[in-house]
Amino acid sequence: MRAWLAASLLLLLSGQVTAHQLKAAMTTVLINERTGNLELMHRFYLHDTEHAVETLIGGHADLFKHAKDRAEFAKYVNRKVALQLADKTPLKLSLVGQEVDGKFFWVYQETQIPADFSALRMQHGALRDVWADQVNMVNFEGKGKVKTLHFDGEDNWLTVHFDK
């Protein structure tokens, strides 16, 4: 009986440990005609982000207390996310900023809306070099119906097509 109870407790605790790392991120790409920009808003789970920063830069990371840790992760995301036109012409993304908001860490990027486009290519490798099972979902809003890209496994560049 005691062994069964101990085994049950270990199973419960192991679930708690893995529950903290969700290894999933959500990005919204807003095609904002009002500002003339493509606005990228990346939402990462704060706990995942802190573990990733510790892996990427080594040592302990505290995103609440250390602006340097927040800036390092934002720069990392800026290097790991890219947009291109359908013909592979790159769109230069500018890092706008980052913030901690509750249990999430946000990174913001933007670029000008390209003239007359019907498709975009995207690369979203943030955290996928840290964890093989990281999933990054991207919603494109503001040009017809919402379109979604789903980065996992060996995905590198994916293409989203917009309604004419």
Over residues 36-65, the pLDDT tens digits come to 999 999 999 998 888 888 888 777 777 888
Check pLDDT > 90 for residue 82. Answer: yes
Distances (CA, A) of 8 to 16, 19, 59, 147: 13, 17, 33, 43
State the virtual CA torsion across 105, 154, 31, 92 in degrees, nearest 10.
Answer: 90
Nearest to 28 by CA among 136, 118, 119: 136
Domain ranges for the chain: 22-161
What integer pLDDT is reported at residue 54 of this predicted model?
83
Across residues 102-106, what is the average pLDDT? 95
What integer pLDDT is reported at residue 18 of this predicted model?
44
What integer pLDDT is reported at residue 20 of this predicted model?
57
What integer pLDDT is reported at residue 8 of this predicted model?
41
What integer pLDDT is reported at residue 52 of this predicted model?
87
